[in-house]
Amino acid sequence: MSRREGRPERVRPRPVPGSPGARRPLGRLLAVLAVLLGGLWFAPAPSARAAVPLERVVSFGANPGALEMYVYRPASLPPQPAVVVALHGCTQSAQLYADNAGLTELADRHGFLLVFAGTTSANNLSRCFNWFQATDNRRGQGEAESVRRMVAHAESAYGADPGRTFVTGLSAGGAMTAVMLAAYPDVFEAGAVVAGLPYDCARDAGPYPCMSPGSDRTPAAWAQRVREAHPSHGGPWPRVAVWHGDRDTTVAPRNADELRDQWTAVHGIGQSPDRTDTIGPNGTRREQYLDGAGRVAVEVDRVPSTGHGTPVDPGSGPENCGATGTAHFIDSICSGRWIAGFFGLTGGGEPDPGTLPAPTGLTVTGTTGSTVSLRWDAVPGATGYAVRRDGTVVARPIEAAHTDTGLSVGSRHTYTVAALDTDGTEGARSAPVTATTAGGAVCWTASNYAHVQAGRATTSGGRTYAKGSGQDMGLYNTFVTHTLKESPPGHYVVADGACP
């Protein structure tokens, strides 16, 4: 069985494609890679504190990227929690990242689920996520698809809220974060790229020029690469936070500007910040770029006097997190706290709300195959309301009711409402409600041959591809079997073990 079908066929580590050491003896290859990867070649060191207890998930569906899945579940986890996917840097591991980045402390404080994805030396000699490989950074295949399957498993096994799914990562994990946001904008509401790179940066010259000195492209050119990752997606697009040390000699700080250019252009907004301020104990410079609804669509956080790594701030206070006993976890600012705030998990990343109270009584009054109707109690003094679907403002009605339209059959969404004052400033948000449109996905389990004959898949070059999503299903024969889910009509995705 090939790696594309879920099991690695390699029996020895492979070098990064295109490196000069690809045809040299192993000892010399290691030296070459160490020079090329610079700080990405993280020197292993023992963790500074006791290991965080992680739950290994052995089976989470198809795993074409041959990755490992670990879950951190806080002792007090609310129903339908948000889920944050965390991606480690090169030579690190899921466990090392969990032990030091500070995310588990924030999950304990604020009640969200953490999924730590891990890669191995069988995938990449340096245990980097393969953000630069087309076989791993495209929708529906390789490592990107494996991470997507982890999210689906978190939703089915732990009840995670599909409307509150986020991703973050360091270095190669930061670059892979950009991959997930581009390839699966319909899955992730927001992401945070720490010391990472723009999506599809390595297409032209390979990974090393991307890292340093960095690639300079127009915002429109960068944005086009994101749109090409999922051509049928018309929005909304994920919100993106970029964290980068100003003394990073491994992944040049220029990449923070290129990431900003890429994602502001995707959102259709300018590259000049709408707001700037400083945050944290070290004066990190925060630049915020607002969308048409006044929401922070892109944020760039430039960490002063900091090299290549995850900024942490050990301690027991509310602004502290992380540990510094391991290389590339840098005592500076608890970046995880601000990232969780940007995701809307702590309230620390959004502008302070206005003075109006949160609306009460938000209720779903009806659904059809394409609509959800809502009502709530009017707020005295409100001039209107901001209705959010899955975290994004979709309407500003005057009355205390709204019908959301144009939804997919059988789709699930989370709504909140905030009152607007005379200046149009939002007050506190209501408690969320979740609604599912009528109908639902239809599933078929059959051989690849039968799927093609039924019109649910196509065949090319002896392989089978799901119609609509284009996912590679393997060889065109009667022996390979998959479950396909149709939603919306005519669009099929592989749903082995994840379809009701």
Cα 431 off chain centre by: 24
Cα 215 off chain centre by: 23
Report the distance separating Cα 218 and Cα 408, nearest Å.
34
Given 19, 126, 171, 487, the catalytic residue: 171
The answer to whether 339 and 192 have CB atoms below 8 angstroms apart is: yes
Q: How many CA atoms lie within 13 A of 494 on its CB side?
A: 26
At what angle are helices 142-158 and 172-183 packed, to 10 degrees?
Answer: 80
Burial class (CB in 10 A: 0-12, 13-18, 19+), 73: middle
Instruction: Calculate the alpha carbon distances from 496 to 39, 60, 61, 463 in Å.
Output: 39, 10, 6, 18
430 belongs to the catalytic site: no
Q: How many CA atoms lie within 13 A of 55 on its CB side?
A: 14
Report the distance separating Cα 457 and Cα 451, nearest Å.
6
Burial class (CB in 10 A: 0-12, 13-18, 19+), 234: exposed
Active site residues: 171
